[in-house]
Structure 1
Amino acid sequence: MNTKELAKIDLNLLISLQVLLEERNVSRAAERLFITQPAMSKTLSRLRAVFDDALFTRSSHGMQPTPRALELTDRLTEILSGIGQLVSKQAFNPALIDTEITLALSEYIGVALLPTLAKRLQMQAPNLHLRIVTRVENQLEQLALGKLDFAIHIRHQHYSPDFRTIDLGSSPPVLLIRENHPLQAGNISLADLANYPVVRLYVSDREQLQVKAGEDLFDGLGTNTRGSLEISHLMTAMEVLRNTDYYMLGPAFLTQNESISHGITALPVPRTGNSSVNYVLATHQRTENSPLHNWLWEEITCTIRELRPTQPRKLRQRVAAGAAQHR
């Protein structure tokens, strides 16, 4: 595109040409554009200079367009119509979406959220391309750069005003172990955990997280163990737990999914009290005027609200059952 030449053209001249082609009369064109006839005549002179053509000639039947003007007619109408659509706000219709949106979240969040969200999006936006990334660091930077559209993660300690966030709820941490694991035999202490290997689920931007339980939750717990396995694949991690003496710290809502938590017991975490981990939906302010992003924001938060009422009771029952077995 030759932007240098394009910058020389006044868009208002093209609008004036469109009106002249429709009216074929300088006076009527001037009235429609709310300018004087001399000003309209001056505009016509400028148009003739831009296109290097007379554009209109006088006859007994009024102004007649030249072949060059007739050649411009259809293209001019199409161009001005396109510009009008470009700058006007149109009604948003998710059914017409055919674009890609990138969402960052951990697999353990995706297991709880995506089946319901995907069903919802399939019905309303069947051509939407939703790309899920489960292992990405510096998520706020990636959002600012436009490499991510949304992120669902554990709340960070700080968000600048450039980011839009909303709390999605919280979940208590639990110890996940296989049924009949030796740790079920008595009260668990940190010293007891040191006798067993630990599975560490990958958590992005770990050093930036806001976790009120402090280092006991993510760093201190499981530091001194017989061995460890760090992984971002939840299904594999749960299979490891079912077949070994590994234990894993995870959110209590994982036990809600029977197909994933089959054969797994949830026990209270030593020394964490009633602490919970808070989850947040985040996006960058660059998307605040995007109908697509605002619509998806609502779809994600509405899906979370629909899922939330069914979780607390089941989670408490499972954790309580695990605690009772533990005692």
Structure 2
Amino acid sequence: MSICFMDFHGIDLNLLAAFDALMEERNVTRAAARVGVSQPAMSAALARLRALFGDPLFLRSAEGLLPTPRARDIAQPIAQALRQIEAALVAKPPFMPAMASLAFTLGLSDYPAFVLLPALITSLEQQAPGVSLHVRALTGRDSAVDLLDAGTIDLAVGVMPVRPENRIMTKSILRDEFVTITRRDGTTARDNITLERFLSMRHVLASPEDDRHGLVDQALAQIGKQRILALTLPHMFAIPTVVAGTAMTATLMRRVVLNSSVRHELALFPPPVILPTIEFHLIWHRKSDQHPAQRWFRDLIASQALSL
């Protein structure tokens, strides 16, 4: 049996590791520290990579190194190949949650913080009593990307980031639909809410980013309608209590209402406009994709979301 050796044309695998670090860090100094070389050595590696691929690969900007289209094309195959080589050469001990003593930092938006976190904490106490959890708030759709890049969080649960990034990985784990709510003892609660009645009522809007034009307003604008917006709040879970004590109405995700302490004081209706289903994703950095403890924690969060 003959053995066929592949000709890599003298490519040094360390160059590919340097490329992977540059792709993830977007900074020569940080990439050098990541792979344990000096900054001049990383700069020299970048020059060799540019010559090897016949492309600048990274362009300097105020936001750091911006990858060229060519760099984006090769980033995932190179990262995957390096992870496979690492898995083949470095034997990693299995992660044993019951014996582990470590801390995870999890980025959460309001919705998963209220809906998912209680069940997650219970599972951690049962399966990994030595694991502690720190939670950081996600203040915008792309804040998870910024926090993961900075190494401030290990992973996040939130809506899909606006900026697609090769180094950021996502998995849909939770969906919810919208319902319109009113006070149960109000006159509106006795009938279905027609579009005409919906438009005559005073509305409450959850607006974490201080945007006064939500999904309902966008749907109404498409049919040439506009609602009466009486109150905006940054926290969606405060809205059921407001509606239960007033004649106002609100359109919220179903689990927000069901997890409210005043849910029995509210009437729920299908919204009189077509609204999308909302998806929440696990969001993590590619550099932690194969880490045993991180993989276990992601699987735990996904399983808890599936049980909701």
Q: Deviations over 1:196-236 (max 9, x none)?
A: 44332245698xx9x8x8922899999642521313261x3
Query: What is the identity, as a one-letter code, of the residue corresponding to 2:250?
Result: M
1:112 corresponds to: 115
- Cα 1:201–1:151 shift into 2, 3 Å: farther
Native 8 Å contact 2:108 2:137 kept in 1: yes
Q: Offset of 1:263 from its aligned partner?
A: 1.0
How many Å separate the matches in 1 of 2:225 and 2:151? 36
2:246 corresponds to: 244
Q: Deviations over 1:12-53 (max 9, x none)?
A: xxxxxxxxxxxxxxxxxxxxxxxxxxxxxxxxxxxxxxxxxx
Tell me the TM-score normalised to structure 1 length: 0.56
Q: Does 1:162 align with 2:167?
A: yes
Q: What are the equivalent positions in structure 2 for 1:221-300 lying under 5 Å apart?
A: 224-232=227-235, 234=237, 236-257=238-259, 259=261, 261-272=263-274, 275-300=276-301
Q: Deviations over 1:96-125 (max 9, x none)?
A: 433332222233333322222111111122
Native 8 Å contact 1:106 1:232 kept in 2: no
How many Å separate the matches in 1 of 2:98 and 2:157? 24
Native 8 Å contact 1:97 1:125 kept in 2: yes
Q: Offset of 1:173 from its aligned partner?
A: 0.9
1:37 corresponds to: none
- Cα 1:148–1:276 shift into 2, 3 Å: same
Query: What is the identity, as a one-letter code, of the residue corresponding to 1:121?
Result: L
Query: What is the identity, as a one-letter code, of the residue corresponding to 2:255?
Result: F
Which runs of no fewer than 5 residues in structure 2 stay unpaired?
1-36, 38-89
Q: Offset of 1:167 from its aligned partner?
A: 1.3
Partner SS state of residue 133, structure 2: strand
Tell me the TM-score normalised to structure 2 length: 0.59
How many Å separate the matches in 2 of 1:220 and 1:295? 46
- Cα 1:156–1:102 shift into 2, 3 Å: same
Native 8 Å contact 1:154 1:278 kept in 2: yes
Q: Does 1:132 align with 2:124?
A: no
Q: What are the equivalent positions in structure 2 for 1:178-193 lying under 5 Å apart?
A: 178-184=183-189, 186=191, 188-189=193-194, 192-193=197-198
How many Å separate the matches in 2 of 1:197 and 1:122? 44
Q: CA RMSD in A?
A: 3.6
Q: What are the equivalent positions in structure 2 for 1:1-327 lying under 5 Å apart?
A: 89-137=92-140, 138-156=143-161, 159-184=164-189, 186=191, 188-189=193-194, 192-203=197-208, 215-216=218-219, 224-232=227-235, 234=237, 236-257=238-259, 259=261, 261-272=263-274, 275-307=276-308
Higher deviation after alignment, 174-183 or 118-127: 174-183
How many Å separate the matches in 2 of 1:141 and 1:95? 31
Native 8 Å contact 1:103 1:148 kept in 2: yes
Structure number, greater radius of gyration: 1
Query: What is the identity, as a one-letter code, of the residue corresponding to 2:153?
Result: L
Going by fraction, where is helix more abundant, 1 or 2? 1
- Cα 1:217–1:224 shift into 2, 3 Å: closer
Q: Deviations over 1:61-99 (max 9, x none)?
A: xxxxxxxxxxxxxxxxxxxxxxxxxx8633322234333
Q: Offset of 1:147 from its aligned partner?
A: 1.9
- Cα 1:215–1:150 shift into 2, 3 Å: farther
Q: Offset of 1:245 from its aligned partner?
A: 1.9
